[in-house]
Amino acid sequence: MSDSAAPAAPAEYSAGHHHSDSGLLKLSIGAIGIVFGDIGTSPIYAFRETFAGHHPLAPDALHIHGVLSLIFWSMMIVVSFKYVSIIMRADNKGEGGSLALLALISRRSGATMRLKTSGIVLLGVFACALFYGDSMITPAISVLSAVEGLTTVQSAFEPFVIPIAVAILVGLFAIQSRGTARVGALFGPIMLVYFAVLAALGIFHIAKDPSIILATLNPWNAIQFFITDQWRAFLALGSVVLAVTGAEALYADMGHFGRKPIGLSWLCFAMPALMLNYMGQGAMILSLDAAAAAETIRNPFFFLASEAYRLPLVILATLATIIASQAVISGAFSVTQQAMQLGFIPRLRILHTSASAAGQIYIPIVNWALMVMVILLVLFFRSSSNLAAAYGIAVTGAMFIDTCLLTVVLFSLWKWKPWFAVPLLALFFLVDIAYFTANLTKVPAGGWFPLLVGLVVFTMLTTWAKGRRLMIERMNEGTMPVSIFIKSAAASAARVPGTAVFMTTTPDGIPHALLHNLKHNKVLHERVLLLTVKIEDVPFVDPEKRIDLKELGSGFYRLILRYGFMEETDVPAALAKVESCGPQFKMMDTSFFLARQTLIASSRPGMALWREGLFAWMLRNAESAMQFFKLPTNRVVELGSQVEI
């Protein structure tokens, strides 16, 4: 859909990253290397699974034309229409993804509507949870399917497929701590070559039977497939959807490249190359006799190349799957950082791997947890065909949730007319529900895995969010008003030189650490700063709006630092820019006081005891506020307190 074909999104929703036309081509090429890795490797296994997977189809003209038509129209409706043309308009200051969209809805809906959208919030959080299941399966199925291509070169390689795949995956996760800056420079050129090869191989076989093009573009072939073979056609949707896995990456990576470069590279390069390859696979199978077709359909992607070029194709495909896996792993780091800043995940250790690119981060615990799960998946399922049964349900679930969130955006934020929005949403929901229900049939064969991962992660995310809210409420009970405290403390306590910074989660009342310090040490510093770090529902905060300082009298100040959920929180760097607060802050004259809470289970209404235990465990293992806020280690004092939730 062109920009003029639908009501435009308000300017406030499309503000953010603007890219000049002169850099459009460069950004489009860069997007090919990062954004389309997942969907770009789908031809290795998607077409194969519809015919040789758990619900095999006969490789005849009816089924091949029907499947190719389903793949084409799925790409058009799901990727081109839904994501590129519609959802990517709903950016949060230039950033995309389920969490960014959720933050946009929460911010723009207002306080009166937040209660009504609590179900939408839970859906957005569950989409985030499903992403972790997807980020485990994608590297496993991608790398394993590429390495399995060795068996088309020489069948004797079969015993080495799993060891080679495991070695590649271990090496991939092992180098994450070094960052992706250098490797990233190779992403674009390699993926350009890969997509060009996809197109060339497809064209070579299409030239032998050009009628395959019209058969693919004709939606009647997909309809006839359903009319003739209803149940098998429905089951085939569970494999056809593998051709569009990675569509949500276009939206999630929008902040790095922008909507126009991603749309341009998809419509002009990536999608044509993918469809040419799929049509080439179909044309090749139709040109073979029954016996040869039955053998070739087991791995049609690699049989597109002649025997002399098959090994180079395996190597190129393996590089492409490594790049696709790298993009998913980096995405897991970014999603974790966003969830952490939005209050759904406890503080974790984050390392920045690039001095110039703030988005290049490394989270050790996420990296090693993903590696263990990916290796276990490869060893447990042992083939990409078995993994395909587990793949898809997380993706289709996330796509369905994106449509639910889009519904709120269209009606509540963009105010689209029902006559236009309802048919559009009906089409999206019809496609999403069809694919999701088809994938539900794969639950016993492996689809349970991403659902289990999603359920576990969802439980942890919601437990942390609710436990944190309860803990703050309990700590705020009976909080002494600031004015009363300052009058009594300033008159009775001795003052000592220097500055004391007391970190507090709320911009009201007196921090517990300050009360405990005065109670035990009976002194106050000459300058006392009550500091609150607030994470806003936007990716980035204007530096001019970062600092909010208020003088309370008697040497007391209230300081609020605002950050976006894509930014790192560096308190000392922010304090260096604070003015109108006495002399400039010097770290050697400044002490930071932090409160460390110990939770006590109680019978008070709040959470179930098992969730209280889970929250307490997460709190104990959270990264220290000292490291998270980049405080100088030799200037921090921690004071403990007990809290009943």
Q: Are 125 and 398 in contact (CB under 8 A)?
A: no
At residue 286, the pLDDT reads: 94
List alpha helices for 241-345, DSSP H: 247-252, 254-257, 259-265, 271-286, 290-296, 300-303, 307-341
All residues at 6 or more sequence positions from 464 whose CB lies less than 8 Å from its CB, including other chains: 343, 344, 345, 346, 615, 618
At residue 341, the pLDDT reads: 81
Length of the chain measured in residues: 645
**Count of structural domains, the chain:** 2
Q: Are residues 357 and 276 in the same domain?
A: yes
Q: Is residue 371 part of a domain?
A: yes
Q: Are residues 545 and 631 in the same domain?
A: yes
At residue 5, the pLDDT reads: 38
Q: Are residues 360 and 479 in the same domain?
A: no
Q: Are residues 410 and 518 in the same domain?
A: no
Mark which of 441, 459, 490 sits at the end of a domain: 441
Q: Are residues 284 and 392 in the same domain?
A: yes
Strands 556-563, 590-600: pairing kind: unpaired
Task: Please tell me whether residue 586 adopts helix, strand or coil conformation.
Answer: coil
Mark which of 419, 441, 463 sits at the end of a domain: 441
Q: Are residues 19 and 79 in the same domain?
A: yes
Q: Is residue 446 part of a domain?
A: no
Point out which residues pair with 500 in neighbouring strands: 528, 591
At residue 320, the pLDDT reads: 92
Query: How many Å apart are CA 374 and CA 176, to the nearest integer?
Result: 15
Residues in the chain, pLDDT under 70: 1-23, 108-118, 179-186, 256, 353-360, 477-479, 490-491, 601-605, 640-645
Q: Are residues 400 and 514 in the same domain?
A: no
Range of the domain at 263: 11-441
Among 81, 69, 146, 618, residue whose Cα is nearest residue 399: 81
Amino acid symbol at 249: A
Q: Are residues 267 and 406 in the same domain?
A: yes
Q: Are residues 16 and 156 in the same domain?
A: yes
Q: Is residue 451 part of a domain?
A: no
Sheet with 547-553: strands ordered across: 547-553, 556-563, 523-535, 494-503, 590-600, 636-644
Q: Is residue 463 part of a domain?
A: no
At residue 51, the pLDDT reads: 92
Point out which residues pair with 362 in neighbouring strands: 351
Point out which residues pair with 245 in neighbouring strands: none
Mark which of 393, 416, 441 sits at the end of a domain: 441
Give the number of other Cβ atoms within 10 Å of residue 490's Cβ. 15
Query: How many Å apart are CA 44 and CA 510, to the nearest integer?
Result: 60
Q: Is residue 460 part of a domain?
A: no
Q: Is residue 5 part of a domain?
A: no
Q: Is residue 616 part of a domain?
A: yes
Helix 393-408 vs helix 98-109: angle between axes, to the nearest 10 degrees?
A: 20
CATH (domain of 22): 1.20.1740.10
Q: Are residues 432 and 500 in the same domain?
A: no
List alpha helices for 441-583, DSSP H: 448-476, 482-492, 512-521, 571-575
At residue 501, the pLDDT reads: 92
Q: Are residues 36 and 154 in the same domain?
A: yes
At residue 18, the pLDDT reads: 44
Q: Are 519 and 491 in contact (CB under 8 A)?
A: no
Q: Are residues 430 and 512 in the same domain?
A: no
Q: Is residue 455 part of a domain?
A: no
